[in-house]
Structure 1
Amino acid sequence: MSFTWWRYPTRRFAVDGLAFSVSSRARGDGLHSALSMQGVAQAADHTPSLGPESVRNHLLRVTLPDGRLLEVELGYMGLWTTGIVARVNGVLVYESHKGRVPIYPEKYQSTAVQHSSFGEIVKAGQSAQGTHSGVFARHNRLPFAIDVATGLLFYVIAKMTDLQTAALVGVVVGFGLVAFQRITKIDVTGGLALFGILMLCISAGLAVWLNDEEWIKLRGTITGLIAASFFIIDGARGGPYIGKGLARYMPYSDIHAGRFAIVMGVIGLFMAALNYGAAKLLTTDNWLFYKTFVDNFIVIGLVLLAMRYARTKPTV
Structure 2
Amino acid sequence: MSEKTIPGWLKQTLDLGPPLLFFVAYLYMRDETYAIGGTEYDGFIVAAGIFVPILLVSIAVLWMLTGKLSRMQVFTAVMVVVFGGLTVWMNDERFFKMKTTIVYAVFAGILGIGLLQGRSYLAWVMAEFLPMQDEGWMKLTRRLTGLFLALAVANEVIWRTMSTDAWVKIETFGFPIAMFLFLWLQILSLQRYIEEPVDQRE
Give the 3-state SS of the residue equivalent to 1:167 in structure 2.
helix
Q: Which residue of 1 aligns with 2:59?
A: 178
Equivalent-residue separation in structure 2 for 1:217 and 1:143 (angstroms):
25
Give the 3-state SS of the residue equivalent to 1:208 in structure 2.
helix
Percent identity of equivalent pairs: 17
Equivalent-residue separation in structure 2 for 1:230 and 1:153 (angstroms):
30
Instruction: Report the alpha carbon displacement of residue 224 of structure 1 after superposing the two structures with TM.
Output: 1.6
Match of 1:199 among 50, 73, 76: 76
1:1-316 pair list within 5 angstroms: 141-161=9-29, 162-185=43-66, 193-210=70-87, 211=90, 212-235=92-115, 236=117, 238-240=119-121, 242-249=122-129, 253-254=131-132, 256=134, 257-307=137-187, 308=189, 312=193
Equivalent-residue separation in structure 1 for 2:23 and 2:47 (angstroms):
8
Q: TM-score, normalised by structure 1?
A: 0.45
Equivalent-residue separation in structure 2 for 1:174 and 1:237 (angstroms):
35
Q: Is the 8 A contact 1:199 1:223 kept in 2?
A: yes
CA 1:174–1:227 in structure 2 vs 1: closer, same or farther (change >3 Å)?
Answer: farther
Give the 3-state SS of the residue equivalent to 1:174 in structure 2.
helix
CA 1:186–1:311 in structure 2 vs 1: closer, same or farther (change >3 Å)?
Answer: farther
CA 1:275–1:311 in structure 2 vs 1: closer, same or farther (change >3 Å)?
Answer: farther
Equivalent-residue separation in structure 2 for 1:293 and 1:285 (angstroms):
12
Equivalent-residue separation in structure 1 for 2:170 and 2:93 (angstroms):
16
Q: Is the 8 A contact 1:243 1:260 kept in 2?
A: no
Instruction: Report the alpha carbon displacement of residue 186 of structure 1 after superposing the two structures with TM.
Output: 6.4
Instruction: Report the alpha carbon displacement of residue 144 of structure 1 after superposing the two structures with TM.
Output: 3.4
Larger Rg: 1
CA 1:274–1:198 in structure 2 vs 1: closer, same or farther (change >3 Å)?
Answer: same
Equivalent-residue separation in structure 2 for 1:246 and 1:237 (angstroms):
17
Question: How many aligned residue pairs are there?
Answer: 170
Give the 3-state SS of the residue equivalent to 2:175 in structure 1.
helix
Instruction: Report the alpha carbon displacement of residue 225 of structure 1 after superposing the two structures with TM.
Output: 0.9
Equivalent-residue separation in structure 2 for 1:180 and 1:145 (angstroms):
11
Q: TM-score, normalised by structure 2?
A: 0.66
Task: Extract unaligned runs of 5+ from structure 1.
Answer: 1-134
Equivalent-residue separation in structure 2 for 1:311 and 1:154 (angstroms):
40
Instruction: Report the alpha carbon displacement of residue 268 of structure 1 after superposing the two structures with TM.
Output: 1.2
* More RCO (CA 8 Å, sep 6+): 2
Instruction: Report the alpha carbon displacement of residue 228 of structure 1 after superposing the two structures with TM.
Output: 2.1
Equivalent-residue separation in structure 1 for 2:118 and 2:57 (angstroms):
31
Q: Is the 8 A contact 2:114 2:120 kept in 1?
A: yes
CA 1:311–1:278 in structure 2 vs 1: closer, same or farther (change >3 Å)?
Answer: farther
Q: Is the 8 A contact 1:271 1:299 kept in 2?
A: no
CA 1:172–1:255 in structure 2 vs 1: closer, same or farther (change >3 Å)?
Answer: farther
1:26-81 deviation line (CA, Å, top 9, x unaligned): xxxxxxxxxxxxxxxxxxxxxxxxxxxxxxxxxxxxxxxxxxxxxxxxxxxxxxxx
Greater percentage in helix: 2
Q: Which amino acid aligns with 1:218?
A: M
Equivalent-residue separation in structure 2 for 1:261 and 1:139 (angstroms):
28
Give the 3-state SS of the residue equivalent to 1:238 in structure 2.
coil
Give the 3-state SS of the residue equivalent to 1:254 in structure 2.
coil
Give the 3-state SS of the residue equivalent to 1:264 in structure 2.
helix
